[in-house]
Amino acid sequence: MALSYKRDKPNKDFDCIIIGSGMSGLALAAVLAKKGKKCLILERHYTPGGFTHVFKRKRYEWDVGVHYIGEVHKEYTVLRKMFDYLSNKQLKWAEMDENYDRIYFGKEAFDFIAGKENFIEKLIGYFPEEKEAIEKYIVLLKEASVASRNYFSEKALPSLVSKMVGNQMRKSALAFTRKTTKEVLSELTSNEKLIAVLTGQYGDYGLPPGQSSFLMHAMVAKHYLNGGAFPIGGSAQIFDTIEPVIEQAGGEVYTNAEVTEIVLKGGKAVGVKMADGVVINAPKVISSIGTHLTFNHLLANESKTEKLKNKVGKIKPSACHLCLYVGLNASQEVLNLPQTNFWIYPEGGYDHDANFDNYLKDPDKYPFPLVYVSFPSAKDPSWASRYPERSTVEILTLTNYEWFAKWEETRWHKRGEDYDTHKEKLSQQLLSYLFDYLPHTKDYLEVYELSTPLSTKHFVNYQQGEIYGLDHTPDRFEQKELRASTPIKNLYLTGQDIVTAGIGGALMSGIITASTILGKNVVKEIMSQ
């Protein structure tokens, strides 16, 4: 159970302090706890869990960042074994329908079906003349995924070892990182519609195919090839099942606990300074809140990090988003909501990059470049017992932080009438997609609430309300500095910035940082159990 820093203060010694309670910080703390380490997790928000937390309104709850996760509904997969290890097998999963994603262009639909052979067969059914390209595409996904293993393993190596073997370990993956997704797929086929369908999940990493590194695309596409799953009981179960492991080793999690500075002594990290001026000491400090906040705010004047800041600072923040949380006052039996996620693109809009660019240039003239619709209450078999006669929908799209910047100095829920009017306009636009594709839901609309990039910035403290850390461009994957160790002794990084976007990437980053701190291959140990 998380404690509130406003009511209680840590009053014992800890082996490490972890800034941030998201997936990466939780994973790291749980691994260290299993090695007998007492971890103190400090969370700025009043709710723990980062993007795995839920919020509640009027007899509803919504998951803010977990919409579906691949490779967890089969017990033999690496990701499932990791979650089992971290939660002592207490975290349970519900497999979604085999049709896990549906890609729309207007009303023209393309289904992604779980299982490699099923996926291939379905795609060939849509594009019979592209059989060879589709089969080669699947081969490339596997090759890129295999190549990524050494690339990410290198991030856990000590600096001396990395200098000797790091370039060789990274080499095969760089062949996939240095080309954009569009470049790679254009080498397979000239069919723009097929390319548009294959990249129909680009919202999962926030960049259209002409900008994203192919490695990022390949990892996401492969991640879902065997379908998706949802945590039974909602995404809050991720924190609720992992936190007891941390607590059993003497660790603690505090919310309302804002860190304003990483304290150094003799060039080493020795603790953190809190917003109330209290200094908490520990032999090791780990930041899971991103490179920008870590080095530009918590270590603003530290010369040792200047080179790292300059290199990483050239990478833009990832996409920011709008999310409309919708509550419907009827049960699943009445509404029959799908478990399938909808990815909706403009009719005939097979050029994702053009759609994206046009919308950013003139949002009043062009439609949203993508709209993602998820049905969390339909995915969770425990939902009906927890919220009878209720159902939920989440509708997301990408946006531009600059459009909201004029309100950034205002307070949450007190940003003014013009802001509320703008939110209502956007809410109605997003609702129109739900009612167009599932018109029967309109009669049951009870509540909706829009989250903007300012909401994300308020709660997560990312610089532009981004959701995936640093942009997953080819340049991002060139940065060797994005690793667990830092130029400052006893200070480590974890989180999306050192691996990749999403819950799986954040979890893996926690494992990599744990491997760095412990000096052992934690993945190998987990897989052997």
> pLDDT per residue over 319-331, tens digit each?
899 999 999 999 9
Write out the residue range of the structural domain in which residue 148 sits.
Answer: 114-226
For residues 259 and 189, membership in a common domain is answered with no
For residues 509 and 493, membership in a common domain is answered with yes
For residues 332 and 420, membership in a common domain is answered with yes
The domain boundary residue, chosen from 442, 460, 478: 460
Identify the pLDDT of residue 458. 87
Residue 125 in tokens:
């059914």
Identify the pLDDT of residue 158. 87
Does 146 map to a domain? Answer: yes
Per-residue pLDDT reduced to its tens digit, 375-397: 999 999 999 999 999 999 999 99
Phi and psi, residue 175, nearest 5°: -65, -25
> Quick check: helix, strand or coil at residue 425?
helix
Identify the pLDDT of residue 529. 81
Residue 272: band (very low, low, confident or very high) from pLDDT cuts 50, 70, 90: very high
For residues 324 and 298, membership in a common domain is answered with no
Taking residues 339-345, report their average pLDDT.
98
Does 364 map to a domain? Answer: no
Contact 192, 200 (CB under 8 A): no
Q: Give yes or no for residue 459 having a pLDDT over 90.
A: no
For residues 326 and 426, membership in a common domain is answered with yes
For residues 386 and 433, membership in a common domain is answered with yes
pTM comes to 0.96
Give 3's contacts (C-beta < 8 A, 6+ positions apart).
252, 253, 254, 255
Per-residue b or e along 466-503, where b marks 16 or more CB atoms closer than 10 Å to that residue's CB: bbbbbbbbbbbbbbebbbbbbbbebbbbbbbbbbbbbb
Give the integer Cα–Cα distance in Å for 458 and 441.
31
For residues 73 and 30, membership in a common domain is answered with yes
Phi and psi, residue 355, nearest 5°: -60, -45
Identify the pLDDT of residue 34. 97
Structural domains of the chain, count: 3
Residue 464: band (very low, low, confident or very high) from pLDDT cuts 50, 70, 90: confident
Q: Tell me what percent of the residues of the chain surpass a pLDDT of 90.
A: 91
